[in-house]
Amino acid sequence: MNMTRRGFLKTCAWSLFTMGLSSDLPFVRQSFAAEFNIPVLMYHRVGYTEGPLTVTPERLSGDLSRLLGNGYVPITLQQFEDYMFKQKDDLPRRPVLITFDDGYRDNYEFAFPVLQQYGVAATFFVITGMLNDRIRLSPEQIREMAKYRMTFGSHTVNHQSLGSMPPENVAFELNASKLALEEILGHEVTALSYPCGSYNATTLRIAGECGYSDAFTVRQAICTRWLPQLELPRVPVFSYYADVLDRIARAYS
Ligand SMILES: [Zn+2]
- Cα(102) to ligand 1 centroid in Å equals 5
The predicted structure's pLDDT at residue 33: 62
Which is higher by pLDDT, 136 or 18? 136
Distance CA(213)–CA(55), nearest Å, equals 29
Query: Are the C-beta atoms of 54 and 46 separated by less than 8 Å?
Result: yes
pLDDT tens profile 20-48: 343 333 333 334 567 899 999 999 999 99
- Run of H or E including 52: none
Mean pLDDT within 134-156: 97
Kindly give, in sequence order, each residue whose CB lies less than 8 Å from that of residue 89, ignoring residues fewer than 6 positions away. 33, 34, 36, 83
Distance from the CA of 247 to the center of ligand 1, in angstroms?
Answer: 20
CA of 159 to the centre of ligand 1 (A): 6
CATH class label, 36-251: alpha beta
Tell me the pLDDT of the chain averaged across its residues.
89
The region of weakest confidence among 19-23, 31-35, 162-166, 202-206 is 19-23
Q: How many beta carbons lie within 10 A of that of residue 182, not counting itself?
A: 16
Confidence bin at 58 (pLDDT 50/70/90): very high
State in Å: Cα 155 to ligand 1 middle: 7
Q: Are 216 and 193 in contact (CB under 8 A)?
A: yes
pLDDT band per the 50, 70, 90 thresholds, residue 169: very high
Report d(CA 187, CA 189) in Å as an integer.
Answer: 7
